[in-house]
Chain A
Amino acid sequence: MTSLEEVRRRAEADAESRGYKLNPDLSFLNDLLEGLKTNEERYGYPSCPCRYATGIFELDKDIICPCDYRDIDVEEFGACYCGLFVSKEVYEGKKKLQPVPERRPGKLIERALSGRITPEYPQEVKKEERITEVVGGMKLWYCKQCGYVVFREEPPYICPICKAKREFFAEIYLSVSAKG
């Protein structure tokens, strides 16, 4: 079982590596860390405490903390959606923390709350199909700036490695030869 301190250390290390801070409101921060811990115990991964998660990795992966939307939200609003990560300005009280509007696409939230996997998201994908077939609109994308590769329906808003914008992502096309 992950301890609360472990969850805290992980968040601290992640914030530091990005130049962010954790929420300065200690009781609020504690609630968020508790929420992450609960979700990790419940689902096996620390999904965002402020979003509904299904427990199905394929449906929740964009909201596993740090979520796909964090960097762009911290940049725009000074905090991520749940408020765990904040900018230096918010941390120092120069900017007030406001509820951050949800950036996660509505269709993903709707799908999660439907509580079922649609045919486009098969739970089990046969191993040999993984490489050669595109699963439910999933594509491989690479960052033309640093080479980071991600397997998603859409490229990320910002490259998590080098911070390049979405426009820097290009699709990777695979072909498989039948020859040995």
Chain B
Amino acid sequence: MKIQKVPGNNKKHKVFVYALSTCAWCKKTKQFLKDKDVEYEYVDVDLLSKEDLEKVKNEITSRGAPLQFPLIIIDDKVMITGFREDKINGALA
């Protein structure tokens, strides 16, 4: 699976973003993390193969998260759906 890593100096939390390459809110989320110098990984779900898509779908549903993007997962436990700045900030504090 094509997981992209965006380097940053803030490595305090493990941040993963499920995104769509066409989605403006996803882009905003990525930019927001970058501006905060947070290291994170992301995957653009719309660019995945059928097999990887199935994997991602199972990953997301097994976490009990809705199949919506962006989905931000912090430290494998905090799940934030949508670009909710205050929630992301809170989880990264």
List A residues at the B interface (Cβ < 8 Å). 28, 31-32, 34-36, 38-39, 49-53, 82-83, 99, 101-102, 106, 109-110, 113-115
Contact = CB atoms under 8 A, between A and B. Distances in A.
A35 B82 contact: no
Given A50-B23, A82-B23, A99-B83, 13 more contacts: A28-B24, A28-B28, A31-B24, A34-B22, A51-B68, A51-B69, A52-B20, A52-B45, A53-B46, A106-B66, A109-B68, A110-B61, A113-B67
B45 to A, nearest CB: 6
B53 A83 contact: no
B5 interface: no
B59 to A, nearest CB: 11
A99 B68 CA distance: 12
B23 A114 contact: no
B82 A99 contact: yes
B68 A102 contact: yes
Contacts, number: 61
Interface string B40-84: 000001100010011001000100001111000000000000111
Given A99-B83, A102-B68, A109-B68, A115 B24 contact: no
Contacts of A38: 21-22
Nearest to B61: A110
16 contacts: A35-B24, A36-B22, A38-B21, A49-B20, A49-B23, A50-B23, A51-B69, A52-B69, A82-B24, A83-B24, A106-B67, A109-B66, A109-B67, A110-B61, A113-B67, A114-B54
B11 interface: no
Contacts of B33: none
Nearest to B54: A115
B32 interface: no
Contacts of A34: 22
